[in-house]
Amino acid sequence: MKAFFMRRPGGALFAVLLLVLTLLASAPPARADDHAHTGSTAADQAERQQERPGNNAPVWRAVRSGEAHFTTVRGPETGVLIQAEGNTWRHLRNGPITVYGGALLIVMASAITLFWLVKGTMKLHGARTGRRMKRFSGFERFVHWGTAISFLLLAVTGVAILFGKHVLAPIFGADFLALLLTAGKLIHNYVGPVFGVFLVLMILTFLRDNVWQACDAIWIRRAGGLLGGDHVPSSRFNFGEKTWFWLGVTVLGLAVAISGLVLDFPNYGWTRGEMQIANVVHAVGAIVLLALSFGHIYMGTVGVEGAYESMKTGYVDETWAKEHHEIWYEDVKAGKSGRP
């Protein structure tokens, strides 16, 4: 065959032409809507380059399509240059989550402050006896304060990250905000897993004391005595505290902790879409958890006389125990554990 083409150069040229014609004939015919699909003809693109250099719209439309192409980098979505859905996430985070989340925190804090100004601290009805009862063990207080301190660090840094550019930047300037958020981001990322560990310990430690009991129905009917001022018999924890445990600590706490771990460790096979979902869950869950924590912090500090003392020292006065947790008080006095 080689000798044939060497003796007949025209034959080689004929073979090449035949191959080209065959390829052209097998190519799909151009459709009239192809240019409409790309939004540009070659002439239009050339004109656009003259008017607006660097504006290559069809190329960028293809880049934003989400179609995966070849790359030497290996990993989830490495072949996708731009994920268009990320812009939807950005608008959601900077829009409804920030606006409505900020409004929820302001309304909750304002309502609790107003309630305290009107009602004041809930005082004991009877005089203190001076006889103390052990309410929390050393380990229980360690778990509680470990969870509380890590949560407060995450709350402060998280609020700064989400709302800083709207609140702090106009007051202190962008440079101060950048310095603050650099430190805040490090604190948030490293304290997050610590909070997760304490959260699991908290759930396991107090799970038994937060099961439903018949006395909880009485507490609900009488709104915990919060409005009337009378005390309602309850076990070691009343229904309000149990609600905080299940809804706040367990459901929202775990949602925030798990989604935070996804964001903390992005190189474990997560796609951009999965991390955006985790970010939304993390932000919404954290805002609601923080709003509910305002009520828990209020009741545990200035809201109820003697409540902070119980978690600080582990002991309460007998009068406090009888007025706030009468069933638990009677069980302990009878020599029982005081636990469900």
Domains defined along the chain, listed by start: 85-333 (1.20.950.20)
| pLDDT tens column, 264-304 | 998 888 888 999 999 999 999 999 999 999 999 999 999 99
* Measured distance CA(332)–CA(316) in Å, rounded: 13
pLDDT at 314 over 80: yes
* Measured distance CA(161)–CA(98) in Å, rounded: 11
Closest Cα to residue 283, out of 86, 91, 101? 101
On whether the pTM is more than 0.85, the answer is: no
* Measured distance CA(139)–CA(129) in Å, rounded: 27
How much of the chain, in percent, has pLDDT values that exceed 70? 81
* Measured distance CA(324)–CA(232) in Å, rounded: 7
CB 136 within 8 A of CB 311: yes
**Which whole number is the average pLDDT over 133-147?**
97
As to burial, measured by CB atoms within 10 angstroms (0-12 exposed, 13-18 middle, 19+ buried), residue 147 is: buried
As to burial, measured by CB atoms within 10 angstroms (0-12 exposed, 13-18 middle, 19+ buried), residue 259 is: buried
Q: Is the dihedral of CA 25, 28, 31, 35 positive or negative?
A: negative
pLDDT at 10 over 90: no
CB 133 within 8 A of CB 329: yes
**Which whole number is the average pLDDT over 70-90?**
79
* Measured distance CA(48)–CA(54) in Å, rounded: 9
**Which whole number is the average pLDDT over 77-101?**
88
How far out from the chain centre does Cα 73 lie? 30
| pLDDT tens column, 207-256 | 999 999 988 898 888 877 766 656 788 999 999 999 999 999 999 999 99
Q: What is the pLDDT of residue 340?
A: 62
User: Residue 233: phi, psi to the nearest 5?
Assistant: -60, 135
DSSP H or E run through 340? none
DSSP label at residue 304 = B
User: What tokens appear for 334 in the block?
Assistant: 């009878």
Q: What is the pLDDT of residue 5?
A: 44
How far out from the chain centre does Cα 260 lie? 6
Q: What is the pLDDT of residue 269?
A: 84
